[in-house]
Copies of this chain bind each other. A is one copy, B any other.
Amino acid sequence: MKPASKASEIERIADTIARAVAEQRLPPGTRLVEAQLVDSLKANRNHVRSALQRLALRRIVSIQPNRGASIAQPSVEEARAVFTARSVIERGVIEILVSGVRKLDISLLKKQRDKEQAAIRNGPREVIIRESGQFHLLLARLAGNAVLEEMLNDLITRSSLIISLYQQHNNPQCGCDEHGNIIQAIEAQDPVKAVQCMSHHLHDIEMHLNLAFWETRTVDFGSVFSEEAESRLL
């Protein structure tokens, strides 16, 4: 007897990979060879192929015809677009939550926040990343909108990708408990402040990235192989 429905086998594969990406266990650019996946995930090749195509649609992997799939390497432009989109969606989520249309269980948010704080103190990096993402996702879930939740789920995974590509230091997450501030503002039913907190939080994450550095850097062989670059090799 198979516990999971047969149709969701593809989903299982896709989610396994997506999660590994979200938790930064699969770095951007990693090649995903079908045969390897088939045997490490104990799956049918067709299912693996379908899963890869799904992930390609979600921009988590990129597929080049006849050359296989690999974990995506979002461009700076895409990175900015993702964070802007997150801001748009998450501000919308916050507005829904604060508008008081649904009776909101703040304790769930606090519980998630505690879980995250515990992870920050002594958890491994991937757990920290996961719990942080879960907080944002929980907000969307509490807003009771499956469409926004699903979109945000994708964006969070893509954010992980972006962060592991463009992070400056290996500062896992800012320690300044911005999630706590968001909870406070929601609890206080202050729409303006809550939205501000969220905007600020996302902006903060984006600003800790190296985006500006790579922005204008079209691969410019002239300067790349100048004395400056060469001197670094010594």
Binding site for B on A (CB under 8 A): 5-7, 10, 50, 53-54, 57, 63-65, 77-78, 81-82, 84-85, 87-89, 91-93, 95-96, 145-148, 151, 155
In the assembled complex, the Cα of A11 lies from the Cα of B146 at a distance in Å of 25
Give the copy number: 2
Q: What 8 A-B pairs are tightest by C-beta distance, nearest first?
A: A88-B92, A7-B65, A85-B147, A81-B147, A81-B145, A85-B148, A81-B146, A82-B147
With both chains docked as a complex, state the minimum distance between the C-beta of A155 and any C-beta of chain B, in angstroms.
7
Interface SS of chain A? helix
In the assembled complex, the Cα of A232 lies from the Cα of B145 at a distance in Å of 37
With both chains docked as a complex, state the minimum distance between the C-beta of A175 and any C-beta of chain B, in angstroms.
29
With contacts A81-B147, A84-B148, A151-B151 known, what are 18 further pairs, Cβ within 8 A?
A6-B65, A7-B63, A7-B64, A7-B65, A10-B53, A50-B53, A78-B146, A81-B145, A81-B146, A81-B148, A84-B96, A84-B145, A84-B147, A85-B147, A85-B148, A88-B88, A89-B92, A147-B155
In the assembled complex, the Cα of A41 lies from the Cα of B45 at a distance in Å of 26
5 contacts between A and B (CB under 8 A): A6-B65, A78-B146, A88-B92, A88-B148, A92-B92
In the assembled complex, the Cα of A147 lies from the Cα of B81 at a distance in Å of 6
In the assembled complex, the Cα of A39 lies from the Cα of B92 at a distance in Å of 44
Find chain B residues with CB under 8 A from A5 CB.
65
Find chain B residues with CB under 8 A from A89 CB.
88-89, 92
Find chain B residues with CB under 8 A from A57 CB.
54, 57
In the assembled complex, the Cα of A63 lies from the Cα of B77 at a distance in Å of 35
With both chains docked as a complex, state the minimum distance between the C-beta of A188 and any C-beta of chain B, in angstroms.
22
With both chains docked as a complex, state the minimum distance between the C-beta of A12 and any C-beta of chain B, in angstroms.
14
With both chains docked as a complex, state the minimum distance between the C-beta of A215 and any C-beta of chain B, in angstroms.
15
In the assembled complex, the Cα of A95 lies from the Cα of B65 at a distance in Å of 38
Find chain B residues with CB under 8 A from A96 CB.
84
In the assembled complex, the Cα of A7 lies from the Cα of B65 at a distance in Å of 6
In the assembled complex, the Cα of A53 lies from the Cα of B82 at a distance in Å of 24
In the assembled complex, the Cα of A57 lies from the Cα of B58 at a distance in Å of 10
Contact present for B85 and A151 (CB under 8 Å) = yes
Find chain B residues with CB under 8 A from A92 CB.
85, 87-89, 91-92
In the assembled complex, the Cα of A10 lies from the Cα of B50 at a distance in Å of 12
